[in-house]
Amino acid sequence: MRLWRLIRILKPNQLWKLLKLGFRYPLMISPTLKATRLTVAISNANYGKQHHKNTAANAFRHALWNYLIAKKCSSWSGEPQRILDWTQKITDLHEDFLPNKPLAREMDLHNNKVGRHLYTKMGDLSVEALISLLQEKTDASQFVSQIEELTKLPEGQLAHIVEADKNEG
């Protein structure tokens, strides 16, 4: 989604939250936008339209997005916790601005956390190695039908709530 399109659909209180966060972390904005564009391009190339649904491909996109935001922001900040705080805040805010049903929202937050966890464990991966690792995790993504199931997954396990349509890519 284009930045200006997103800004136009935000309510005034949402825009204010975004501006406040941007003022707190001004150096993180540009790398986050770059990470977002790269995430969408990689997800489109690997999964087509499937990553826009609540499929395993969507889990891939959320984990990739969080990892790439943290990695790109690390060029601007040497404080790992500050990077992770920003990454969580901006991606949580995204979930607040574009609300899903409760299970889909929790699934997205879970998969975001997986990406941040991977960054803390392996923050020096190349993009190619990251894609390969996340594709393996995507293939092993766990189908869930209730929020409670997300809390029982092993750390680093991706989750999805919709099976992919094999005819659509």
Q: Is residue 62 part of a domain?
A: yes
Share of the chain above pLDDT 90, in %: 67
Distance in angstroms (rounded) separating the CA atoms of residues 102 and 117: 22
**Average of per-residue pLDDT values in the chain:** 90
The pTM is what? 0.89
Q: Which domain holds residue 68?
A: 16-160
Report the domain count for the chain: 1
pLDDT of 154 over the 70 cut: yes
pLDDT in tens, 118-135: 999 998 899 999 999 999
> Of 9-23, 69-83, 119-133, 148-162, where does mean pLDDT reach its minimum?
9-23
Q: Is residue 98 part of a domain?
A: yes
User: What pLDDT sits at residue 3?
Assistant: 58
User: What pLDDT sits at residue 56?
Assistant: 96
> Would you state the torsion angle of the CA atoms of residues 95, 149, 40, 99, taken in this order, to the nearest 10 degrees?
-20
pLDDT of 10 over the 80 cut: no
Q: Is residue 3 part of a domain?
A: no
Q: Is residue 133 part of a domain?
A: yes
Q: Is residue 124 part of a domain?
A: yes
pLDDT of 115 over the 90 cut: yes
> Of 96-110, 130-144, 146-160, where does mean pLDDT reach its minimum?
96-110
Determine the residue type at 95.
E
**What count of other Cβ atoms lies within 10 Å of the Cβ of residue 100?**
14
User: What pLDDT sits at residue 17?
Assistant: 86
Q: Is residue 81 part of a domain?
A: yes
Determine the residue type at 15.
L
> Would you state the torsion angle of the CA atoms of residues 139, 104, 5, 42, taken in this order, to the nearest 10 degrees?
-10
3 state DSSP class of 1: coil
Q: Is residue 115 part of a domain?
A: yes
Q: Where are the alpha helices (DSSP H) in the chain?
A: 3-9, 12-24, 29-47, 56-73, 80-97, 102-122, 127-139, 147-151
Contact 156, 164 (CB under 8 A): no
Contact 56, 131 (CB under 8 A): no
Strand partners, 160: 143
